[in-house]
A and B are shown apart, each in its own frame.
Chain A
Amino acid sequence: MHVVEIQHVAKSFGPVKAVADVSFEVDRGEIFGLLGPNGAGKTTTIRLMLDIFKPDRGTVSILNGPMNDAKNDLIGYMPEERGLYQDTPLDRCLIYLSTLKGLSTAEAQSRLEPYLERFDLAKHRHKKVKELSKGMQQKAQIINTILHKPELVIIDEPFTALDPLNTQLVKDVMRELRDQGAAILMSTHQMHQVEELCDRIVLIDEGRDVLYGPLDDIRRRFSGHAVLVRAAGELPHIEGVEDSARHNNALRLTLASGVSPQQVLQDLMAKDVTIEKFEIAVPTLDEIFIRVVKEGDQ
């Protein structure tokens, strides 16, 4: 059973069609990437999931059924527009918010302590939120999202304002949550983070899901029938190669239709070329993103 199941949802605000047709599922124990250019409909999709908006069409199932108040406690949400009570001391603010997620005050206090230590916020616990740096506030918001041990975590741009050390820390925490069985839906524009963390993605453009599936499958789908080759010395003429172009410190060979990478490798071996690198050219998620969105525009 999927933790999130979105089927052909659509949502318009007056004349503006924010979401036209989006479907995807998120499972337990996975980190799922919700991607798309600005204004694609990601935030509206999340708000439809959380029942902040009602869909005009389609169905939303969260944790085995329609969203309801009881499920609020099983979900951790860090929205795009986020903040904490600026005039409140950090620990009081986090404890209050987690009691709204169903924890008792004592439970919230005991769970908060190790997180404050781990995120290096323990010595700032009595400071008002507004006295903390942006990075510290971001870490506090992440704690707020996961303190009640949610089954579904929806997190929008989790790495904003974080230095590399803290980015790594947040990634570790997300992997731990995934390993513990939580479903994590992450929305971000940092494609390298998606490549590193996500098992599957959905790419939304102009309110429609234009790409959906396991990340490896998608990258292979966009590999463009090419190989990357680095060899000692000049490469000889190889049968079935239509084009060659420099790609970093290697050559990107575009293969003719019907020619497999194995055939190219065999040809190179046969010609006694000293091969230093041979790999199937897989585009980065950045490249796939740009390509899909540009194609959509055209």
Chain B
Amino acid sequence: MSKLWLIAKDEFRRNVYKKSFILALLSVPLMLAFNVGIGLIVENLEKNPTPIGYVDHSGLLDHPIQAYDENSSAAIPIIAYDSEDVAREALLTKEIQALYVLSADYRTTSNVALYYVEEPAGNATSQWYDFLQANLLANYPPKIAKRLIEGTRMTIRSPGGIIEMPAGGPTLSSMLPLITSVAFVFLLLFSSGYLMSGVITEKENRTIEVIVTSVSTNDLVVGKVLGIVAISLTQLITWILIAVLTIAIGGNLLGLTWLQDLSINWTAIAKVIVIALPSYVFAAGLMFTVGSTLTEAPEGQAVGSLFFMLHILPVYMIVTLVENPLGIQTALLGTLPFTALLTTGLRSIFTDIPLWQITLSVAVQTLCAAGALWLAGRAFRLGMLRYGQRLRIRELFRRQPALEERRTS
């Protein structure tokens, strides 16, 4: 095995067996599971399959039409009572969860009395009104009745027609580009930490001189980066698998409607990914640079948190982003390093980002990434033999640095 792979393997092993890695790996799935769990709880709290009853003094429901298919699992039985006394008795014995009484003059007054012991669940109330509506519209042609029952149907569509929100608000499908960018930001956060500690480890343990006289600096740097990329890929693949599993379980087994019928906008996701890749390299280069200038791992973690804050800066400007997703400020945030990734994810929900803006952003991120890599290599060579002594940032840009660079091949 070449020395480069030995370094990569060791870097991978050294990190993945740590508790902190397991915690980082599980943090995103746990967050997902928590959100799905909360959604499930909220949906279940709003459901009660106990029948509802009614007494009709108006004659509207003499020949009732069911709004729902009776065989549907979501349908609640709706029971007609001839007398209010019998119906009230059924309510008290909890045979029914709510009792609706239509007054004799219902057709003119729309008066309905509701009786309950505990407030009826949301699904019971909505089914009752759907039932009532269906019967009120019984004399209309079926097509018109159906459309009236459906009510307002609003679809928000981007000018190009690529972004569409049939429900009038963001769906999970439209949120996927944002979720992708957030996943990358977290990935950056975690792997950046590994990168910094990866560089500091050798200095902290005083092994750098032994290592650089065993392998070339290039093998060392590339080996470490490969090891850390492998860690990041392990995280990303695990997260994707868990997300797919969550969607499958939540949508199909648990019946969570917001996880069903996902239509993925691959174009928007691709736009996020092309910006995410150079952004990742940029952040990795910067972290490597910082790691080379510091002397202890905890210092690196503090700087890592600062970089994370810069990445999530667009969240604090969400009002501007939502109100004017094609505005100059938004376009600028989508181009600048650090903010580009999350801004692109957020904008993708509300607009179809022009291709030239994506191209410009990719170009800027790529240039920054190249600069960061150059800086990383320089910082590593200058800082590797500084034990317990910080390398000042301005030294990185001096023409004649305090320490000569080592050969790099």
Same complex for A and B? Answer yes
Contact partner of A99 among B6, B211, B409, CB < 8 A? Answer: B6
Mark interface residues in A84-101 (1 if CB within 8 Å of B CB, else 0): 111010000000110111
How many chain B residues sit at the interface, stated as a range, is 20 to 34
Contacts A69-B216, A81-B387, A100-B6 given; does A144 touch B407 at CB 8 Å: no
Interface pair B206/A100, CB less than 8 Å apart: no
How many angstroms between the C-alpha atoms of A72 and B409 in the bound complex? 13
C-beta contact mask, B185-222 vs A, less than 8 Å → 1, else 0? 00000000000000001001111011111111000000
Residues of B within 8 A of A144 (CB): 210
**Contact residues of B with A, CB < 8 Å?**
1, 3, 6-7, 10, 14, 201, 204-207, 209-216, 385, 387, 400, 402-404, 406-407, 409
Closest to B207 in A: A83
Scan residues 29-87 of chain A and give those whose CB is less than 8 A from a CB of chain B: 47, 50-54, 69, 72-73, 75, 77-79, 81-86
- Max count, chain A CB within 10 A of own CB: residue among B212, B213, B400, B407: B213
Give me 7 other A-B pairs in contact (C-beta within 8 A), A78-B210, A99-B6, A144-B210 excluded: A13-B403, A51-B407, A54-B407, A79-B209, A81-B387, A86-B204, A88-B14
| Interface flag for A296 (CB, 8 Å) | no
Distance of A85 Cα from B204 Cα, bound (Å): 9
- What is the interface residue range for chain A against chain B? 20 to 34
- A82 touching B402, Cβ below 8 Å: no
Instruction: Identify A79's interface contact among B6, B10, B210, B404, CB under 8 A.
Output: B210
Beta-carbon contacts under 8 Å, A84-131 to B: 84-86, 88, 96-97, 99-101
Known contacts A52-B406, A81-B387, A100 near B209 by CB under 8 Å: no
User: Given A13-B402, A96-B6, A100-B3, A84–B214 Cβ distance below 8 Å?
Assistant: no
A52 near B206 with CB under 8 A, answer no
- Summarize A's interface: helix, strand, loop or mixed: loop
Inter-chain contact A72/B387, CB cutoff 8 Å: no
- Report the bound CA distance from A72 to B407 in whole Å: 13
Q: 27 A-B pairs, CB-CB below 8 angstroms?
A: A13-B403, A13-B404, A51-B406, A52-B209, A52-B213, A53-B403, A69-B216, A69-B409, A72-B215, A77-B210, A78-B210, A79-B209, A81-B209, A82-B206, A82-B210, A83-B205, A83-B206, A84-B207, A85-B14, A85-B207, A86-B205, A96-B10, A97-B207, A97-B214, A100-B3, A100-B6, A100-B214
In the complex, residue of chain B having the shortest beta-carbon distance to the beta carbon of A141: B210
Contact B210 A53 (CB under 8 A): no
6 nearest interchain CB pairs?
A: A83-B206, A100-B214, A79-B209, A83-B205, A77-B213, A81-B387
- Knowing A13-B403, A100-B215 touch, does A52 contact B210 (C-beta < 8 A)? no
- The A-B contact count (CB < 8 A) is 70
A51 vs B210: C-alpha distance when bound (angstroms): 13
Q: Residues of A contacting B10 with CB < 8 Å?
A: 96
Main secondary structure of the interface of B (DSSP, over half): loop
Q: Known interface pairs A14-B402, A85-B201. Does A97 touch B210 (Cβ–Cβ under 8 Å)? A: yes
B213→A50 contact, CB < 8 A: yes
The interface residues of chain B lying within 8 Å CB-to-CB of A47 are 385
A56 to chain B, nearest CB (A): 9
When distances are taken between beta carbons in the complex, the residues of chain A under 8 Å from B1 are 99
* Bound-complex Cα distance A97 to B215 (A): 10
Chain A residues numbered 222-245 whose CB sits less than 8 Å from any CB in chain B: none
* B211 in contact with A100 (CB, 8 Å): yes
Question: With the chains together, A30 CA to B10 CA distance in Å?
Answer: 36
Bound form: Cα–Cα A84–B210 in Å: 9
CA distance A83 to B409 in the complex (A): 25
Question: Which residues of A sit under 8 angstroms from B205, Cβ to Cβ?
Answer: 83-86
Q: How long is the Cα–Cα vector from A83 to B209 in the complex, in angstroms?
A: 9
Nearest CB in chain B to that of A145: its residue: B210
- A50 to nearest B CB, angstroms? 5
Residues from chain A with a CB closer than 8 A to the CB of B3 are 100
Cβ distance A285 to chain B, nearest Cβ, rounded Å:
27
